[in-house]
């Protein structure tokens, strides 16, 4: 499997800049989280990668194929998205056949097992299903299509908690059985934190973070204690936000703590999670407070 390289990708609609000079690489066999606030450009980026729309500038290429052999490049990408590209009367069975026709080797057996688990009849038309079950049916296709890069744009839209759990479990199972790259664009950050290895965060038309979750969280510290001591301790560090209750303050630091910084007795240092980090980074966090 080849590495996917996004080089200098920009997208404008008229004078509105959506993405500006984006550069990143997606490795084969890895699960990514694509995060960004509403309107940040996540769907736009996924649509560009999978050839549904053209970038204003830039290229998307697979290592050995470059950008020339577009058919072979796109033949390795599958995008599951909210928008329904299927004709109105398309049945679930027909969706399976279309995926098989386009990508070959569709895993009918596993897809039918999963359909049962979601309680969906293969003969039903997609448009007759509830919102959540339409998502579920599209996920069944996405998890069984023969593509090396599977992009899931809001894969849990309308899914109830039970079905979300089923999807996460099946995604891991599918990935373990046949490692390939998944990119999940979602707002349910808490739910995917354990699932994704690497995150890409889109904000202000750029990728503001492109790192392994572990590496990011290694720099995400809470510093709690009397406000004056916390302020002294975090001086010079990047503080994304702070809460204060009476005289007790918690600062959310996103920085490397060095050993020379002695922690005062009354100050406690802990960790915070990816969702809190995302909020801090995309709320316009300042360099210091
Ligand atoms: N065809 C289009 N014409 C004009 N503007 C568009 C078009 N498609 C998208 N946009 C704009 O591009 C911006 C990014 O939209 P996009 O759907 O990529 O964001 P997103 O990060 O997926 O958002 P959300 O999380 O809300 O789904 C939005 O401001 C949107 O209005």
**Integer CA distances (angstroms), 272 to 23, 148, 264, in order:** 28, 33, 20
Out of 14, 22, 38, 44, give the residue to mutate to test ligand 1, the one with the largest number of ligand atoms within 8 Å of its CB: 44
Does ligand 1 have an atom closer than 6 angstroms to the CB of 34?
no
Handedness of CA 86, 179, 206, 11 (dihedral sign): negative
Does ligand 1 have an atom closer than 6 angstroms to the CB of 44?
yes
Q: Separation of 38 CA from ligand 1 center, angstroms?
A: 8
Domains along the chain with CATH numbers: 4-212 (3.40.50.300), 218-282 (3.30.70)
Does ligand 1 have an atom closer than 6 angstroms to the CB of 205?
no
How would you classify the pairing of strands 198-203 and 31-36? Answer: parallel
How would you classify the pairing of strands 181-185 and 149-153? Answer: parallel
Instruction: Give me the pLDDT at residue 285, please.
Output: 43
Does ligand 1 have an atom closer than 6 angstroms to the CB of 47?
no
- Cα 173 to chain center, whole Å? 18
Q: Are 126 and 118 in contact (CB under 8 A)?
A: no
Q: Separation of 267 CA from ligand 1 center, angstroms?
A: 43
What are the φ and ψ backbone dihedral angles of 249, each rounded to 5 degrees? -120, 145
Instruction: Give me the pLDDT at residue 70, please.
Output: 67
Alpha helices in 159-253 (DSSP H): 161-177, 189-192, 213-217, 227-234
Q: Provide the total of helices (H) and of strands (E) in the chain, helices listed first.
A: 10, 13
List of the chain residues with pLDDT < 70: 64-72, 284-289
Distance CA 175, CA 30 (A): 9
Provide the 10 A C-beta neighbour count for residue 212.
13
Mean pLDDT of the chain: 92
Q: Separation of 44 CA from ligand 1 center, angstroms?
A: 6
In this structure, the residue with its CA closest to atom 7 of ligand 1 is 13
Does ligand 1 have an atom closer than 6 angstroms to the CB of 38?
yes
Does ligand 1 have an atom closer than 6 angstroms to the CB of 76?
no
The SS3 of residue 274 is: helix
Structure token pair of residue 269: 């240092």
Q: Separation of 153 CA from ligand 1 center, angstroms?
A: 13
Does ligand 1 have an atom closer than 6 angstroms to the CB of 280?
no
Q: Separation of 41 CA from ligand 1 center, angstroms?
A: 6
DSSP assignment letter at 25? E
Does ligand 1 have an atom closer than 6 angstroms to the CB of 14?
no
Does ligand 1 have an atom closer than 6 angstroms to the CB of 40?
yes
């Amino acid at each position: 499997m080849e590495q996917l390289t996004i080089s200098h990708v920009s997208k404008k609609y008229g004078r509105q800049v959506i993405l500006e000079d984006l550069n990143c690489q997606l490795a084969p066999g890895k699960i990514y989280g694509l995060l960004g606030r509403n309107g940040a450009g996540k769907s736009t980026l996924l649509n560009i990668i999978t050839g549904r729309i053209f970038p204003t500038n830039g290229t998307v290429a697979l290592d050995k194929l470059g950008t020339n052999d577009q058919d072979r490049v796109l033949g390795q990408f599958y995008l599951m998205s909210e928008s329904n590209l299927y004709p109105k009367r398309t049945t679930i069975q027909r969706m399976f056949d279309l995926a098989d026709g386009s990508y070959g080797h569709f895993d009918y057996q596993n897809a039918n097992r999963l359909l049962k688990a979601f309680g969906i009849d293969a003969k039903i038309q997609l448009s007759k299903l509830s919102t959540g079950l339409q998502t579920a049916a599209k996920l069944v296709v996405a998890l069984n299509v023969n593509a090396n890069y599977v992009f899931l744009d809001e894969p849990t839209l309308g899914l109830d908690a039970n079905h979300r759990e089923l999807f996460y479990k099946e995604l891991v199972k599918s990935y373990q059985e046949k490692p390939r790259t998944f990119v999940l664009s979602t707002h349910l950050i808490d739910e995917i934190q354990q699932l994704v290895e690497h995150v890409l965060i889109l904000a202000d038309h750029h990728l503001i973070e492109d790192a392994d979750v572990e590496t990011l969280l290694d720099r995400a510290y809470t510093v709690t204690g009397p406000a004056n001591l916390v302020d002294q301790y975090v001086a010079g560090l990047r503080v994304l936000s702070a809460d204060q209750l009476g005289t007790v303050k918690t600062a959310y630091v996103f920085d490397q703590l060095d050993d020379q910084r002695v922690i005062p007795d009354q100050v406690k240092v802990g960790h915070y999670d990816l969702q809190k980090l995302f909020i801090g980074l995309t709320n316009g966090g300042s360099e210091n407070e």
